[in-house]
Every structure is written in structure tokens, then in C-alpha cells.
Amino acid sequence: MKSSAAPKRAYRLGARARAAEQTAERIIAAFRRRIALDWYDVITLEEIALEAGVTVATIIRRFGGKERLLETAWDRFNQEITARRTVAPGDLDGAVRVIVDDYEAVGDVIMRALMQEERIAALKRVNDRGRAFHRAWIEQSFAPWLGELSAAARRQRVDALVAATDLYTWKLVRRDMGRSPQHVRTLMRQLLNGALGLAGARSGETP
């Protein structure tokens, strides 16, 4: 007769692991809600614990503290951003579409993080990773216009493409000027055309 102890133990361990993962997800979600609304240095683990329905000790045991929780939440942000920014190299319309969609989804949260990076080293680190990701995305997405250039010309063109699609460009036009997402897309396409030496935006691409 075979013992059922091992399958039962495996089931209990699996259930425990799933419960721990669900707890971690609640903590991350609670932190993401708080950082979208508050300054990083005023957010407390007590607030996050209360919102997630756990204890502060649970957060510390799982993440070690608020800084590690920030890094974990930002890793999740980056995974989502990477998924939203999927576009074939050379697809200008697609690149404009996904970058504006991305900023519409998380632009305000990232801007809040950028506003705090001079005094919060942990935010400076995650923002630096975001800047590196954006530049790498530019180099991949606009590869057809970069391959034949010298190193200096390539760097200058990438700089122009980064500036044309930067979060601050979105923020200036979308938030400060109060324009529509379509207006931002049209403007970004015009800026990209200039950076790439192409003709102006096609007819019909109006705000």
C-alpha cells in the first residue's frame, strides 16, 4: 500500500507558496497605489500593510524594506512597459502609437518619480534604468535609420530620437498644454520625421 503523505505534503507546500505569492502581489499593488499618489518619503510601511491586509513584519520578511519594495514594483512597471512597447523596427506609426499609449498608462507615475530623484537615491537608480531602457528601445525600434551612420552621427540621431519621444515631451504637450493624445502622436511623428530627415507628417494626421 503506497503512502499518501508525500502528495499531501507537496499539496500543502504548493498551497503555501501560492498564498505567499498572493500576499506579495497585494503588497506590491498597495505600494504602487500609494506611490502614484504620494511622495516616496512620506509613504510608510504601516500604510502599505494596512492597505494590503498584512503586517509590517510580513512586508519586511518578504521584501526587506521600502527600498526593495520600490525596486520590485519598478521591475513590474518595466515588464509592463516592455510589453506595451512591442513594435517592429522601422514602424514609425507603431512606435508613436505605443510610446504615447505607454505614457498615457504610467506617465504621471514616472513623472512623480523623476521629480523626487534628486533627493531619493533609490528613485534615481530606478529612473536611470528607465532612461537606459528608453534609449535601447529607440536604438532597436529605429534601427533601419541608424545602421549606416558613423558613431558620432549615430549618437546625435539617437539623442534626437530620444528627445522627440521623451516623457518630458509628452508631459509638456499633454499635461502642460492640455492637448489630446492624438495631438501628441501627430507632434511626435513630426519631430521624428525631422530627426530622421523625412518629409512632414502625412496628410490626415491632424490633432
133 and 184 both lie in a single domain:
yes
Cα torsion angle, 144, 147, 152, 153, sign = negative
| Any domain includes 76 | no
| Any domain includes 96 | yes
Among candidate residues 35, 65, 95, the one where a domain is terminated: 65
30 and 123 both lie in a single domain:
no
| Any domain includes 74 | no
| Three-state SS letters, the chain | CCCCHHHHHHHHHHHHHHHHHHHHHHHHHHHHHHHCCCCHHHCCHHHHHHHHCCCHHHHHHHHCCHHHHHHHHHHHHHHHHHHHCCCCCCCHHHHHHHHHHHHHHHHHHHHHHHHHCCCCHHHHHHHHHHHHHHHHHHHHHCHHHCCCCCHHHHHHHHHHHHHHCCHHHHHHHHHHCCCCHHHHHHHHHHHHHHHHCCCCCCCCCCC
Give the whole-angstrom CA distance, residue 185 versus residue 192. Answer: 10
158 and 112 both lie in a single domain:
yes
Amino acid at 205: E
90 and 54 both lie in a single domain:
no
What's the CATH number where 20 sits?
Answer: 1.10.10.60
- pLDDT tens, residue order, the chain (207 aa): 455 565 655 555 576 778 788 899 999 999 999 999 999 999 999 999 999 999 999 999 999 999 999 999 999 889 999 999 999 999 999 999 999 999 999 999 999 999 999 999 999 999 999 999 999 999 999 999 999 899 999 999 999 999 999 999 999 999 999 999 999 999 999 999 999 999 754 433 433
18 and 61 both lie in a single domain:
yes
| Any domain includes 48 | yes
106 and 18 both lie in a single domain:
no
24 and 125 both lie in a single domain:
no
Which own/partner pairs from 125-128 qualify as long-range (CB within 8 Å, at least 24 positions apart)?
125/71, 126/70, 126/71, 126/74
90 and 61 both lie in a single domain:
no
| Any domain includes 71 | no
- Cell 510589453 locates to 83
| Any domain includes 77 | no
162 and 96 both lie in a single domain:
yes
60 and 149 both lie in a single domain:
no
50 and 90 both lie in a single domain:
no
| Any domain includes 156 | yes
- Please answer whether residues 37 and 54 qualify as being in contact, where contact means their C-beta atoms are separated by less than 8 angstroms: no
Domain total of the chain: 2
Domain that holds residue 36: 5-65
| Any domain includes 16 | yes
| pLDDT at position 204 | 37
